């Protein structure tokens, strides 16, 4: 009885080994067919062959593990290539789906560097999609796309810039400023950083101008100061700050702003000199006020400057 058991066990072992060898051979055929189809530039058919290979090899346990990994590596690579092709053709949703499949297989085979590459492509694609939505004036949808990009690459400064240009349109001030700060934090020497700074400078300059029209001078001064933080070479921001500070009698701040403005203004400095004159006059430094008013040679304040010099201050 014991002898019969041993014989039967040996028999089934031989049968099992024979089946495993046959299955491994079938998996190898599918893998080789996948290689041929890849060379023929038939990626979807190649993927099906590699899947067949991986499925057969996966059922063989340790014996088929190596071949299964090779097949899934090919699948991940092909999905990556197809994703790049779809991205170039501006099929962004399709590209994202393909990159996600590439990442899925790269995780299965333990290739974190491939997963990271797929994630970067996904982030880039979401930014491209967001830029298209921005051009269509679909700002909220664009923000969603840019935000989605950051799920895959939290340091992708171009996604933050995309958010910023949308927040500029939707007048979401706090969100815009937060996005610009992220561009500056992660952008390094990229030209996007300067674009973001200019965007911030212009945005807050416009807010300052609006506040001046409403005669909300403290707010105007604060907005001008923020504008200068992002673009310290814009003379209009210094002019707005000087004008605003003069209107709530912050003379020293007005003088400081006007003097910086004079250094940055390359054209007509008359408006800046007028505000400098007002500030010195308010502070009681009349000789300096007379000199500043004397330098007002053009623009809408010429007559007002003459009046202050000749009638009010009686300058020499």
Instruction: Tell whether 9 is covered by a domain.
Output: no
Instruction: Tell whether 254 is covered by a domain.
Output: yes
Instruction: Tell whether 33 is covered by a domain.
Output: no
Question: Which 3 state secondary structure label does DSSP give 29?
Answer: helix
User: Cα–Cα distance between 117 and 43 in angstroms, integer?
Assistant: 20
Instruction: Tell whether 215 is covered by a domain.
Output: yes
Q: What angle do CA 207, 209, 215 make, to 5 degrees?
A: 105
**pLDDT of 23:** 77
User: Cα–Cα distance between 188 and 186 in angstroms, integer?
Assistant: 6
Closest CA to 126 of 105, 153, 103: 153
**pLDDT of 213:** 97
Instruction: Tell whether 57 is covered by a domain.
Output: no
The sign of the dihedral angle between the CA atoms of 113, 119, 122, 128 is negative
> Domain with 287 in it: what CATH number?
1.25.40.10
User: Cα–Cα distance between 231 and 197 in angstroms, integer?
Assistant: 6
Which residues form the domain of 204? 190-316
**pLDDT of 62:** 86
Closest CA to 31 of 45, 58, 49, 16: 49
Instruction: Tell whether 70 is covered by a domain.
Output: no
**Virtual CA dihedral for 16, 20, 23, 27, nearest 10 degrees?**
170
Q: How many domains does the chain have?
A: 1
**pLDDT of 15:** 36
Q: pLDDT by residue for the chain (316 residues), tens digit each? A: 444 344 334 333 333 444 355 678 888 899 999 999 999 999 999 999 999 999 998 888 887 899 999 999 999 999 999 999 999 999 999 999 999 999 999 999 999 999 999 999 999 999 999 999 999 999 999 999 999 999 999 999 999 999 999 999 999 999 999 999 999 999 999 999 999 999 999 999 999 999 999 999 999 999 999 999 999 999 999 999 999 999 999 999 999 999 999 999 888 999 999 999 999 999 999 999 999 999 999 989 999 999 999 999 999 8
Instruction: Tell whether 12 is covered by a domain.
Output: no
Decide if 167 contacts 143 (C-beta within 8 A): yes
Q: What is the pTM of this model?
A: 0.87
User: Cα–Cα distance between 80 and 198 in angstroms, integer?
Assistant: 36
**pLDDT of 20:** 57
Instruction: Tell whether 221 is covered by a domain.
Output: yes
């Amino acid at each position: 009885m014991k002898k019969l058991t041993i014989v039967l066990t040996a028999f089934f072992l031989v049968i099992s080994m024979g089946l495993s060898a046959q299955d491994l051979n079938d998996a190898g055929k599918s893998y080789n067919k996948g290689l041929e189809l890849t060379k023929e530039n038939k990626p979807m058919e190649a993927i099906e062959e590699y899947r067949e290979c991986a499925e057969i090899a996966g059922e063989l346990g340790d014996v088929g593990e190596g071949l299964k990994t090779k097949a899934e590596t090919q699948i991940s690579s092909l999905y990556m290539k197809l994703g790049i092709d779809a991205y170039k053709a501006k099929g962004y949703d399709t590209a994202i789906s393909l990159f996600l499949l590439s990442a899925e297989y790269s995780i299965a085979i333990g290739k974190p560097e491939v997963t990271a590459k797929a994630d970067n492509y996904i982030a880039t694609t979401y930014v491209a999609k967001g830029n298209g939505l921005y051009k269509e004036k679909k700002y909220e949808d664009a923000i969603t796309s840019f935000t989605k990009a950051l799920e895959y690459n939290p340091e992708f400064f171009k996604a933050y810039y995309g958010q910023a240009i949308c927040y500029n349109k939707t007048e979401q001030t706090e969100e815009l400023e937060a996005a610009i700060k992220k561009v500056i934090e992660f952008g390094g020497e990229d030209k996007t950083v300067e674009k973001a700074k200019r965007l911030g400078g212009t945005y807050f300059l416009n807010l300052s101008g609006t506040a001046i029209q409403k005669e909300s001078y403290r707010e105007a001064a604060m907005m001008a100061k923020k504008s200068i933080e992002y673009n310290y070479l814009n003379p209009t921001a210094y002019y707005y700050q000087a004008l605003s500070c003069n209107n709530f009698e912050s003379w020293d701040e007005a003088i400081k702003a006007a003097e910086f403005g004079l250094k940055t203004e390359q054209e007509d400095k008359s408006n800046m000199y007028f505000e400098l004159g007002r500030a010195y006059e308010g502070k009681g430094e009349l000789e300096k006020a007379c000199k500043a008013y004397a330098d007002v040679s053009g623009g809408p304040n010429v007559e007002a400057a003459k009046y202050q010099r000749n009638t009010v201050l009686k300058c020499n």
